[in-house]
Amino acid sequence: MNPIPVFMYHHVSPHKGDMVTVTPDVFEAQMRFLAEAGYKTLSADELVEFAGGDFVIKEKTVVITFDDGYLDNYIYAFPVLKKYNIKATIFLVTDWVERSSEFGVRSLELKTKKLPNHNECKRFINEGKISEVIMNWDMVKEMQESGFVDFYSHTMTHRKCAELSDAELMRELQDSRRIIEQRLNKPSPYLCWPKGSYNSGAIETAKGAGYKALFTTERGIVKKGSDAFSIKRIVVKDNISWFKSRVRIYTNPLFSRIYLTIRGRG
């Protein structure tokens, strides 16, 4: 059975060469390739069921994920996902979305909005200008209701989970999950570790908070029987040729095993 690569995005933004950013033209070309080449995209639910052996997949399949909930995901990525019938998962920092939702953003403003680069986004968040760079709940609900995008936890405040006390971590995990479930009226059993920071104690705390799967920043693929509490992902580059080659490699059982072994992730 074919393995499944879980691709990790952050920004889809015009800032070419910026950190953790794929430009809109390249992102659309990547999604168009998936659609035209016949790749199926899975939801997080389907991926977890596949890893647990409860979901049979015959097609070559990928998963698309985004971390943090940046506003550019709504402006640039969402229309492309709808255009090519691509499923995606976005992990939200719930405190950021809550604070962004305190300010209204008109559709006309979005059409003319000049988005900041990654470092400017971090500065805006630190300065409290959250609505300039992070989606609000109205946008999240619109994306959720489209049927193409699901939302899960990236903690409350995006702190490094391996550095928190047990009590602090439990609050980060429980409160973020509770808020998403209340806002979207659906279960939120999946978590993505901010900055890839976690340890064995954090995993046990997440299990105690009711999470059923945990997404990491470690390179790798998901196979039948993969540990749902250590889901590996592939960081996406702003390059269509790179993306095409990695999709083909990582969805092939032999090629993916050889490639990951060479890269030290066998």
pLDDT value at position 56? 79
Write the CA distances from 184 to 106, 130, 140, 178, 255, integer angstroms.
21, 20, 9, 10, 39
Q: What residue ranges do the domains of the chain occupy? A: 4-262
User: Could you tell me how many residues make up the chain?
Assistant: 266
> Which residues, listed in sequence order, are joined to residue 63 by a DSSP beta bridge?
6
pLDDT value at position 259? 85
240 phi and psi angles, rounded to 5 deg: -75, -40
- The structure tokens listed for 124 are 């805006």
Q: How far apart are CA 16 and CA 117, in angstroms?
A: 9
pLDDT value at position 59? 87
pLDDT value at position 266? 44
- pLDDT tens digits in sequence order for the chain, 266 residues long: 789 999 999 999 999 999 999 999 999 999 999 999 999 999 999 999 999 987 778 889 999 999 999 999 999 999 999 999 999 999 999 999 999 999 866 554 666 678 999 999 999 999 999 999 999 999 999 999 999 999 999 999 999 999 999 999 999 999 999 999 999 999 999 999 999 999 999 999 999 999 999 999 999 999 999 999 999 999 999 999 999 999 999 999 888 888 888 876 54
Write the CA distances from 39 to 17, 82, 147, integer angstroms.
27, 15, 18
pLDDT value at position 103? 80
* Among the four given CATH numbers 3.20.20.370, 3.30.310.80, 3.40.109.10, 3.40.630.10, the one describing domain 4-262: 3.20.20.370
Q: How far apart are CA 90 and CA 183, in angstroms?
A: 15
Write the CA distances from 207 to 35, 141, 178, 210, 225, integer angstroms.
35, 27, 15, 5, 18
pLDDT value at position 7? 98
